[in-house]
Chain A
């Protein structure tokens, strides 16, 4: 009885298949990574800057000829104009809902069918991994895929 139980559990594990929602989540995560602007919050912000750092205040003062003007700091503008990209899109959508606008300019889906490539080697692929839906081209690549990616990342 006990043996049968564990056998069934093992079976269920093997047949674990990502549902549509999980696959879409995975796809969305992959796209977000591609869209990354390589924007980091400065991890060394707390380090003391060396003397080599240009002193903008000084260079600014020498900008105008014989001109003394109080310039505002970078931090001032950060506080003054602080809106995230999604806030801006939403704002635009509310104030300027009729096309043409940022949203409407986005190119529509292609009329040509999707092409499929092996997620391992990048060559055209004819097969789909049953558990996760990734594409592969041959047994060797399927093996690599199962060992490295398939259900290994939690979507």
Chain B
């Protein structure tokens, strides 16, 4: 088998892609269109060439976290595999591609078909991104038997316990809150309270990334945010990009607005990420992350509990909110019995952690037993894929 593997962590918003000999590229998994250049669709990273990103909208292959729009996905994959992005001849090397948890059978079959028949893969491993994260964690911590991956991405958040590298399906918990919902909510409250930004998902998403944090003491921060501007350490202005002098917005202390257009962000800065901890704040009647972690652990065998609490790993874009890890630690600590040691790992890059796991797994001797080769696929078809891939 070739010493290089093509690894595609195919996220619903961002694809992480690259050869196992290389570092991953982050490629928006969508086609974007801008008001300023109506005739040109921007595929993947081409959006970097767009001069004016106002009124930008996405056409995404994924809906609610599952691959639905295959024409869009095919276009993005063709771009990803082209010289322009991350070229490779998949017939010459193994491919790892990620899929969501509980992926629907027809999507699984379509994945297998498109990779073997369209892209003529030499061999294929379809696996959950959380499975790759688990592998990465155990690779770095060789003596751990269990870990609990909390993957909070664009479409939703999953809590997934792994015991000896195998996910405990009965204990998986999905919270229907992800980065998309947070951005949509921010868009809505800004539009109601100060400026119409309903068509500015791209910019508001950046404002969210640049401004929001996870509160360590929610009601105390609410009191703080009520103070007048001189004494208020939370209120900030977000300077909006104008695409002539400024390409990306930034946060600054409130001042009398000059030429630039700004958004005043106050309790929004922490009330938005708070939805991950209290989905019921926006009417979603589900547990927040810390409660779902404890609930998931309790659904596993009791002897694994101390190991799971010891090895919690936070992945996905939402793990980048400042304060995210500390808040989860504090709440899990207070919700679980005091006999357990709670230890949480926040990787340097929670977005590429799964991809890095793919890189590690591709170098493991067991890897060749995990893939399905093209010859095997041609002989045994989809049935073998169901048997070998656990997605």
The interface residues of chain A lying within 8 Å CB-to-CB of B158 are 105
B57 touches A40 (CB 8 A): yes
A101 touches B102 (CB 8 A): yes
The reply on A75 being an interface residue by CB < 8 A is yes
Question: Which range contains the number of A residues in contact with the other chain?
Answer: 35 or more
Please pick, from B39, B188, B282, B287, the residue contacting A108 in the complex, using a CB distance under 8 A: B287
B281 touches A115 (CB 8 A): yes
The reply on B252 being an interface residue by CB < 8 A is no
Decide: A77 near B70, CB < 8 A? Known: A31-B283, A50-B39.
Answer: yes
Interface locus among A2-10, A14-22, A79-87: A79-87
A37 touches B106 (CB 8 A): no
The interface residues of chain A lying within 8 Å CB-to-CB of B114 are 77
The reply on A152 being an interface residue by CB < 8 A is no
Closest CB in chain B relative to A63 CB, distance in Å: 6
B40 touches A50 (CB 8 A): yes
The reply on A35 being an interface residue by CB < 8 A is yes
The interface residues of chain A lying within 8 Å CB-to-CB of B284 are 31
A77 touches B71 (CB 8 A): yes
The interface residues of chain A lying within 8 Å CB-to-CB of B271 are 117, 122
Q: Restricting to B136-192, which residues have a CB under 8 Å from any CB of A?
A: 155, 158-159, 169-170, 172-176, 180-181, 184-185, 188-189, 192
Q: Restricting to A94-117, which residues have a CB under 8 Å from any CB of B?
A: 95-96, 99-102, 105-112, 114-115, 117
The interface residues of chain A lying within 8 Å CB-to-CB of B73 are 77
The reply on A124 being an interface residue by CB < 8 A is yes
Interface centre among A37, A42, A99 (most CB of B within 10 A): A37
Decide: A107 near B106, CB < 8 A? Known: A34-B185, A37-B60, A54-B82.
Answer: no
Please pick, from A37, A71, A106, the residue contacting B118 in the complex, using a CB distance under 8 A: A71
Once the chains are docked, how many angstroms separate the CA of A85 from the CA of B285?
A: 21
The interface residues of chain B lying within 8 Å CB-to-CB of A85 are 63-64, 66, 68
Main secondary structure of the interface of A (DSSP, over half): loop
Closest CB in chain A relative to B229 CB, distance in Å: 15
Decide: A78 near B69, CB < 8 A? Known: A54-B84, A60-B78, A110-B288.
Answer: yes
A92 touches B105 (CB 8 A): yes
The reply on B104 being an interface residue by CB < 8 A is yes
The interface residues of chain A lying within 8 Å CB-to-CB of B170 are 99-100
Question: Which range contains the number of B residues in contact with the other chain?
Answer: 35 or more
The reply on B377 being an interface residue by CB < 8 A is no
Report A51-75 CB contacts with B as 1/0, cut-off 8 Å. 0111010011011110101011111
The reply on B43 being an interface residue by CB < 8 A is yes
A107 touches B84 (CB 8 A): no
Closest CB in chain B relative to A52 CB, distance in Å: 5
Q: Restricting to A26-48, which residues have a CB under 8 Å from any CB of B?
A: 27, 30-31, 33-40, 42, 44, 47-48
Interface centre among B62, B63, B89 (most CB of A within 10 A): B63
The reply on B237 being an interface residue by CB < 8 A is no
Decide: A47 near B38, CB < 8 A? Known: A54-B43, A59-B84, A122-B271.
Answer: yes
A60 touches B82 (CB 8 A): yes
The interface residues of chain B lying within 8 Å CB-to-CB of A72 are 118
Instruction: List 4 extra interface pairs beyond A31-B283, A52-B40, CB under 8 A.
Output: A37-B63, A81-B70, A88-B106, A122-B189
Give the 7 A-B residue pairs with the shortest CB-CB distance, closest first: A78-B71, A59-B82, A74-B71, A77-B70, A100-B169, A107-B286, A74-B74
Seen from chain B, the residues whose Cβ lies within 8 Å of a Cβ on chain A are 33, 38-41, 43, 46, 57-60, 62-64, 66, 68-75, 78-79, 81-84, 87, 89, 91, 101-102, 104-107, 110, 114, 118, 120, 155, 158-159, 169-170, 172-176, 180-181, 184-185, 188-189, 192-193, 201, 219, 222, 225-226, 267-268, 271, 278-288, 291-292, 295
Q: List 14 A-B contacts (CB under 8 A).
A: A35-B64, A38-B57, A39-B60, A49-B39, A53-B41, A77-B70, A82-B70, A83-B106, A88-B107, A107-B279, A110-B279, A110-B286, A112-B280, A123-B267
